Amino acid sequence: MSEITVVLPATEMNQLSHELRRLTREILKAQPRRRLWTGMGGADGYGVEMDTPVFTMHPHDENPVCNCGAADSEEEKPCAETCPFGWPNFKHKPSGFAVHWHKWIGRSMEVVGAPPTEMGAMIDECISSLVQVTP
């Protein structure tokens, strides 16, 4: 499967960052024990490790370890999406829309796939799915 990286206008990137931080706050409200650490990105600036039927979120990992074998492979191949080396920091499963960031939300952010018309509605859907996960 080939991935298409889309460059969003700055205003849309800002809105996306805002929505991803809102999602982070809602996850932490529902599951406070998942809080990592805070720094320059703020309490809601890094994302939280989370997987629901609707979305996955992974904070930036400074030293990701490949678990799919691609890093040790003789041939050049990209890591699987389930591998810490290759996974996006956020993925909306129904649409496939995904976001990569560096260290904190908003920094060197890249999106994969077309963004939803209503980013707020997508994040609302993600928030609604939190009840399906046991803390």
Between 13 and 66, name the residue whose CB sits nearer to Zn ion.
66
In the complex, what is the shortest distance from the CB of residue 63 to Zn ion, in angstroms, rounded to a whole number?
A: 13
In the complex, what is the shortest distance from the CB of residue 72 to Zn ion, in angstroms, rounded to a whole number?
A: 9
In the complex, what is the shortest distance from the CB of residue 73 to Zn ion, in angstroms, rounded to a whole number?
A: 9
Q: Count the neighbouring beta carbons within 10 Å of the beta carbon of residue 78.
A: 11
Contact pattern from residue 70 through residue 89 relative to Zn ion, giving x for each residue in contact according to CB under 5 A and a dash for the rest? x--------x---x-x----
Chain-centre distance for alpha carbon 96:
11
Q: Is 112 in the site for Zn ion (CB under 5 A)?
A: no
In the complex, what is the shortest distance from the CB of residue 81 to Zn ion, in angstroms, rounded to a whole number?
A: 10
Q: Is 68 in the site for Zn ion (CB under 5 A)?
A: yes
Question: By three-state DSSP, how is residue 47 classified?
Answer: coil
Q: Is 20 in the site for Zn ion (CB under 5 A)?
A: no
The answer to whether the CB of 88 falls within 8 A of the CB of 105 is no
Sign of torsion, CA 111 54 96 118? Answer: negative
Q: How far is CA 32 from CA 24, 35, 49, 102, in A?
A: 11, 6, 12, 23
Binding region for Zn ion (CB under 5 A): 66, 68, 70, 79, 83, 85
